[in-house]
Amino acid sequence: MTDAKRQEALRRRLRSRYRAERRFRAYGAAAIGAAMLALVLLLVSVVVRAVPALFEHRVRLLLSFDPVLLDAEDKSAAGLEQANYGAVLKQALRSHFPEVTERGEQRALYGLVSSGAAFELRDRLLADPSQLGHEAEVWLLLTDDADLYLKGEGAASGLSPAQVGWLEQLRDEGRIERTFATRFFRSGDSREPELAGVWGAVVGSFWTLLVTLGLSFPIGAAAALHLEEFAGRSRWTDWIEVNINNLAAVPSIVFGLLGLALFLNFFGLPRSAPLVGGMVLALMTLPTIIIAARSAIRAVPPSVREAALGIGASRLQVALQHVLPLALPGILTGTIIGMARALGETAPLLMIGMVAFIVDVPSGMTSPATVLPVQIYLWADAAERAFLGKTSAAILVLLGFLVAMNLTAVWLRSRFERRW
């Protein structure tokens, strides 16, 4: 073969390689673009459904706090707390719509106002008892069906034509307003969609993650430090390492079954409590933290250990005073990533009873509670249409927590990491 033919063959092979490289880059860019497009579509769909749920509609009615109507002969705080506020609401609605006289129509009229409005009136009168015996115009929360209709989802509202007519009359009179739903961020769960909030689940997640962090971080860091600095290589440590790696890949529901059998059935700990949930999640995150901590400890240069030993430090002093502080940023990063994974878990918590309907905001680690992922699961399975928007809004809250935790991990690494 002549030199010209060899050179031409080489050029053909080079052109073929360049074409293959360009195709590979195009495939990679297309894959990244498809992934980004899917992520954007997912986020947009969640945001579009969540934004309406962050607002609520209220109606302004003239209420008469008549002691006779309230059946509040006892004007003390205890007596006012037991007063009949529903009668005040019904009287206000009948006064505004005097043409509604049939009992069935009146029930439909009363159904426009949320059942939580009576509790709002109770709190209002307890805060200012001087209103007793006077009239006042008060903004009251509407039901989820009325709220859906006013948000433009008339087909999903389930209102009767008469109820629609009453709402339109109130809107024409300027008695309906749209406000930001602060209740969503400051109240617990409820059977009524317009009253349901995420604060109880947020507090439950806080207590659960606090228990998880308190158990998994010290145990995981200590285990990693022992395996890297003191244990040495043996069949026993090799067996432990293999099992740690295997546990990191075990499905999370298996840890839920372990927590059900061990913590609930054997030790008798309270069901649906953040204490048990945190212990289960700590078992689940320990392998991840140990693996990340061992990598961070292994990344510390041997010269640091040799220098410390050379000036007379013991192995324990070398590990605690030199190696551990230098590896701490990587350990913290791995811990936060493991905690972020624990925050999004649902399956292990379902097994220990944290799927229960909890109205009250938990006051401690042993109080009945739920967490954000389980709350999302419960609302997604609810029959009421209004819970669909609440589900998307709760997903945004959960994503906010996850993003914050991951940004914290990135900040810790960039702030404390040392490059060797």
Domain containing residue 383: CATH number: 1.10.3720.10
Kind and range of the H or E run holding 191: none
Alpha-carbon distance of 241 to 334, in angstroms, equals 17
Q: Per-residue pLDDT averaged across 256-268, rounded?
A: 89
Range of 369's domain? 199-416
The pLDDT, as a whole number, for residue 417 is 66
The pLDDT, as a whole number, for residue 32 is 95
**Which of 51, 57, 124, 46 has its CA nearest to residue 85?**
124
* Domain shared by 213 and 94, yes or no: no
pLDDT at 418 over 70: no
pLDDT band at 230 (very low <50, low <70, confident <90, very high): confident
What is the DSSP annotation of 375-394? Answer: HHHHHHT-SSTHHHHHHHHH
Alpha-carbon distance of 305 to 25, in angstroms, equals 44
Is residue 384 domain-resident? Answer: yes
Alpha-carbon distance of 228 to 297, in angstroms, equals 7
Write the CB contacts of 110 (distance below 8 Å, at least 6 apart in sequence). 89, 90, 93
pLDDT at 384 over 90: no
Is residue 344 domain-resident? Answer: yes
* Domain shared by 239 and 299, yes or no: yes
For the ranges 250-264, 267-281, 404-418, which has the lowest average pLDDT? 404-418
Is residue 104 domain-resident? Answer: yes
Is residue 251 domain-resident? Answer: yes
pLDDT band at 233 (very low <50, low <70, confident <90, very high): confident
Looking only at the bridges linking them, the beta strands covering 176-180 and 55-64 are antiparallel
**Which of 255, 227, 220 has its CA nearest to residue 241?**
227
pLDDT at 234 over 90: no
Q: Per-residue pLDDT averaged across 393-411, rounded?
A: 86
pLDDT tens string 86-134: 888 999 999 999 998 898 899 999 999 998 888 888 888 888 888 888 8
The pLDDT, as a whole number, for residue 305 is 87
pLDDT at 227 over 70: yes
Q: Within 10 Å of residue 28's Cβ, how many Cβ atoms?
A: 10
Is residue 218 domain-resident? Answer: yes
pLDDT at 77 over 60: yes
Residue where the block lists tokens 């928007």: 389
* Domain shared by 222 and 323, yes or no: yes
* Domain shared by 235 and 173, yes or no: no
Is residue 78 domain-resident? Answer: yes
CA 169 to chain CA centroid, Å, is 39
Write the CB contacts of 230 (distance below 8 Å, at least 6 apart in sequence). 315, 319
* Domain shared by 336 and 220, yes or no: yes
Alpha-carbon distance of 376 to 351, in angstroms, equals 16
Q: Per-residue pLDDT averaged across 244-261, rounded?
A: 88
Q: Which two tokens stand for residue 104?
A: 């069935």
Q: Where do the H-state alpha helices sit in 230-273?
A: 235-247, 252-259
Check residue 153 and report its DSSP letter.
-
The pLDDT, as a whole number, for residue 420 is 57
pLDDT tens string 287-300: 999 999 999 999 88
Contact 285, 341 (CB under 8 A): yes
Q: Per-residue pLDDT averaged across 141-145, rounded?
A: 91
Which of 315 and 8 is assigned the larger pLDDT?
Answer: 315
Last residue of a domain, one of 181, 211, 245: 181
Alpha-carbon distance of 96 to 116, in angstroms, equals 20
**Which of 7, 105, 419, 366 has its CA nearest to residue 97?**
105
Total structural domains in the chain? 2
The pLDDT, as a whole number, for residue 167 is 92
Contact 192, 115 (CB under 8 A): yes
Write the CB contacts of 223 (distance below 8 Å, at least 6 apart in sequence). 286, 290, 293
pLDDT at 1 over 60: no
Q: Within 10 Å of residue 246's Cβ, how many Cβ atoms?
A: 10
* Domain shared by 304 and 393, yes or no: yes
Q: Per-residue pLDDT averaged across 303-316, rounded?
A: 87
Q: Per-residue pLDDT averaged across 381-399, rounded?
A: 89
Is residue 69 domain-resident? Answer: yes
Q: Per-residue pLDDT averaged across 36-50, rounded?
A: 92
* Domain shared by 247 and 154, yes or no: no
Q: Which two tokens stand for residue 224?
A: 């990693």
Mean pLDDT of the chain: 88
Model confidence, pTM: 0.86
Which of 326 and 6 is assigned the larger pLDDT?
Answer: 326
For the ranges 219-223, 265-269, 317-321, 409-413, which has the lowest average pLDDT? 409-413
* Domain shared by 143 and 117, yes or no: yes
The pLDDT, as a whole number, for residue 419 is 63
The pLDDT, as a whole number, for residue 173 is 92
How many Cα atoms sit within 13 Å of 339 on the Cβ side? 29
Last residue of a domain, one of 113, 146, 181: 181
* Domain shared by 92 and 133, yes or no: yes
Q: Per-residue pLDDT averaged across 151-178, rounded?
A: 86
The pLDDT, as a whole number, for residue 13 is 87
Q: Within 10 Å of residue 44's Cβ, how many Cβ atoms?
A: 10
Last residue of a domain, one of 155, 181, 207: 181
Kind and range of the H or E run holding 57: strand 55-64
At residue 178, the 3 state secondary structure works out as strand
Question: Which amino acid appears at position 257 of this protein?
Answer: L
* Domain shared by 144 and 261, yes or no: no
The pLDDT, as a whole number, for residue 155 is 64
The pLDDT, as a whole number, for residue 286 is 92
Distances (CA, A) of 34 to 37, 39, 200, 364: 5, 9, 37, 44
Alpha-carbon distance of 333 to 32, in angstroms, equals 25
The pLDDT, as a whole number, for residue 306 is 86
The pLDDT, as a whole number, for residue 59 is 93
pLDDT band at 278 (very low <50, low <70, confident <90, very high): very high
Alpha-carbon distance of 54 to 395, in angstroms, equals 12
pLDDT at 350 over 70: yes
Is residue 374 domain-resident? Answer: yes
Distances (CA, A) of 3 to 9, 12, 15, 377: 10, 14, 18, 71
**Which of 111, 137, 117, 121 has its CA nearest to residue 82?**
121
* Domain shared by 272 and 324, yes or no: yes
Kind and range of the H or E run holding 79: helix 77-81
* Domain shared by 283 and 377, yes or no: yes
